[in-house]
Amino acid sequence: MLAETVHTQMGHAALGGVVPEIAARAHLTLLPGIVEKTLTESGLKLGDMGAFAACTGPGLIGGLIVGSSYAKGLAIAMDRPFIAVNHIEAHALTARLPGLVQHDIKFPYLLLLVSGGHCQCVAVRGVGQYEKLGGTIDDAAGEAFDKVAKLLGLGWPGGPALEKLALEGDDRAISLPRPLMGREGCDFSFSGLKTAVSRQIDPYGMAALPRALAADIAASFQSCVCDVMADRVRHALEMMPEAQSLVVAGGVAANAAIRAALEACADEAGIAFVAPPLRLCTDNAVMVGWAAIETIRAHEAANVPLRDGIQTAPSPRWPLGEVTAPSIPAV
């Protein structure tokens, strides 16, 4: 990495979460300055670029349109290829970024993607070779954290605030369900757990919860999520015995308790546990750039021309299974 620039979305905190229309307009206003700043710090010019890449899905359509359109414009102006990157694939490949972890991460490995919008176990067998083993049937883990944090009167984003409050509480104080735990497969469900938390809070009405009780609820909720995730990952590893590593990515991967539970799963299975640095767990441009490089290299290795993604339309939905690997031509 020669340079990187991040503009935080914490300005949305006062609104209780990201407002798509406001976020898209902020992208439009801020992106040119961010690109210029990053180029200056890297010591490079636009003409030095070998290719341009942007996330084109899945995600909020406004931001996808702004980012991909801007990158496509640069690619056309500089006569360079544009690489359309799948958001989830970028998370899946982040762990392979050189120098990020002690050991080179080789295929195949199991990815657990846990964020505000995604919660799924994916078998990563190569660039463009992915199989979804299981996913959430209702709320994503990060969404559940944010909703429970809101019930507890905490700010947004709720995950970090709830994790901090949980440190004060007793994780066995409140009896809460552990949805799908012990079931076959590796699907997730957090909606019932969120409802169970709300029932603990209902008797207090609009009154503020005593801090000790709020801390106990936070700790108990977090413990439930850790137990469920560990159970689901164990099942996923049984479904993918060839996995050489367990990789966790996404914003919820920043939670220390969840990391510890998942690391224990990897230790039990005798495989490496890999989690990117906290700043690269949440959405970032570094992972998009690296996914583009992985795509270029995969095509070069297969001796297959890279398809220019200039015609790829941004989409709020782009299942990982629809990402295609370069096929080796018949001799």
**CATH number of domain containing 82:** 3.30.420.40
State yes or no: 33 annotated in a binding site: no
In a domain, 2, yes or no: no
- pLDDT computed for residue 14 by the predictor: 65
State yes or no: 113 annotated in a binding site: yes
Residues 75 and 121 in one domain: no
Range of the domain at 146: 106-275
Residues 268 and 287 in one domain: no
Among 253, 275, 297, the domain-final residue is: 275
State yes or no: 223 annotated in a binding site: no
- pLDDT computed for residue 330 by the predictor: 45
In a domain, 139, yes or no: yes
Residues 82 and 206 in one domain: no
In a domain, 329, yes or no: no
Residues 261 and 291 in one domain: no
Q: Where are the alpha helices (DSSP H) in 54-111?
A: 61-78, 87-93
State yes or no: 289 annotated in a binding site: no
Residues 87 and 114 in one domain: no
In a domain, 49, yes or no: yes
State yes or no: 86 annotated in a binding site: no
CA angle 166, 251, 156 (to 5 degrees): 60
Residue 134 is inside which H or E element, if any?
Answer: strand 129-135
In a domain, 98, yes or no: no
In a domain, 63, yes or no: yes
In a domain, 100, yes or no: no
- pLDDT computed for residue 10 by the predictor: 63
Residues 267 and 299 in one domain: no
State yes or no: 146 annotated in a binding site: yes
Q: Which residues pair with 86 in a beta bridge?
A: 57
In a domain, 235, yes or no: yes
If we measure between CA atoms, which residue out of 222, 274, 267 comes closest to residue 248? 274
Q: 85, 318 in Cβ contact below 8 A?
A: no
State yes or no: 16 annotated in a binding site: no
Residues 258 and 175 in one domain: yes
Residues 71 and 117 in one domain: no
Residues 227 and 138 in one domain: yes
Residue found by looking up tokens 């966790």 in the block = 248
State yes or no: 114 annotated in a binding site: yes
Residues 70 and 202 in one domain: no
State yes or no: 91 annotated in a binding site: yes
State yes or no: 235 annotated in a binding site: no
Q: What is the pLDDT along the chain (331 residues), one digit of tens a residue?
A: 899 998 876 666 666 667 888 889 999 999 999 999 999 999 999 999 999 999 999 999 999 999 999 999 999 999 999 999 999 999 999 999 988 877 779 999 999 999 877 899 999 999 999 999 999 999 888 889 999 999 999 987 889 999 999 999 999 999 999 999 999 999 999 999 999 999 999 999 888 899 999 999 999 999 999 999 999 999 999 999 999 999 999 888 889 999 999 999 999 999 999 988 888 888 899 999 999 999 999 999 999 988 889 999 999 999 888 888 775 454 4
- Tell me, rounded to whole angstroms, the distance of Cα 79 from its chain centroid: 31
- In the numeric block, which tokens belong to residue 318? 């782009």
- pLDDT computed for residue 251 by the predictor: 83
Residues 207 and 296 in one domain: no
Q: How many structural domains comprise the chain?
A: 2
Residues 158 and 206 in one domain: yes
State yes or no: 135 annotated in a binding site: no
State yes or no: 153 annotated in a binding site: no
If we measure between CA atoms, which residue out of 220, 221, 286, 199 comes closest to residue 249? 286
